[in-house]
Amino acid sequence: IENFCKTLRNMGKAGIRRITFNFTPLLTTRTSFSTRTRGDALVSSFDIDLMKDAPLTEYGVVPEERIWDNWTYFIKKVIPVAEEADVLIALHPDDPPVPSLRGIGRPFRSFEAFKRVIETVDSEYNGISFCIGCWSEMGEDIPKAIRYFGKRKRINFVHFRDVRGTATKFAETFHDDGQTDMLAAIRALKEVDYDGPVRPDHQPMTEGYENLPPQSGYRLLGKFFGIAYMKGLMEAVYGKRPISPLRL
């Protein structure tokens, strides 16, 4: 906590006004990074059935409520520093948003969970990183969720990606090929006057990267596609220049 607060103070001095973070010993978990998608590109995917025999982590069994207790203790310590430093904090959902993995509880996985997040400390500095892909995995109404949290000024960062499937079994997709109405998501962000960064998150691995480690999600050509698609949607919603207050 002391180091995190020091980081917030340094960010404030440097003029960096937002930080997104996960609060879990297990970050984004996938069971494959080589699932085939459109055009034979590679994407990451998750199937909980392939995790059923996975061993516990070094932490053993950690119940969901213990994660909540630890996060509550953490956030109440850091929000006063964030306010002083003028740095907005954005909590990322658990990905995948399932109740537990390898014995570790994963509480940040639903609309109700994030209502609890923002109600725990009533400050715009205690916000969320709205990962559209995670909310798609949750099966939530994405425009509705954007309106709820956005009107309360608690969306502090946006990850722009999509999937096909559910929390327990899904594959990532090109940004225009998933199950979410991404145009409706941009319209909802405009409706709530969101003016923060939007990141073209996980994208497929396209031809030309075969000799690199199979960590699909952050390769350059797929990112180009995601940015271009986002720019097109933003122009459709906001009109010609200035395209949008959103920042890529």
pLDDT for the residue 176:
94
Sheet strands (E) in the chain: 18-21, 32-36, 42-47, 88-91, 100-101, 104-105, 126-131, 155-159, 163-166, 169-172, 198-199
* Cβ pair 154, 126 in contact under 8 A: yes
pLDDT for the residue 28:
76
CB atoms within 10 A of CB 59: 12
pLDDT for the residue 26:
77
User: CA 125, CA 19: separation in Å to the nearest integer?
Assistant: 10
pLDDT for the residue 173:
94
Residue stretches of the chain with pLDDT short of 50: 242-243
pLDDT for the residue 154:
98
pLDDT for the residue 205:
83
pLDDT for the residue 107:
96
pLDDT for the residue 215:
58
pLDDT for the residue 247:
56
**Residue 186: both structure tokens together:** 């941009």
pLDDT for the residue 203:
82
pLDDT for the residue 27:
72
**Residue 41: both structure tokens together:** 């590109």
* Cβ pair 65, 113 in contact under 8 A: no
Q: Give pTM, 2 decimals.
A: 0.91
* Cβ pair 55, 21 in contact under 8 A: no
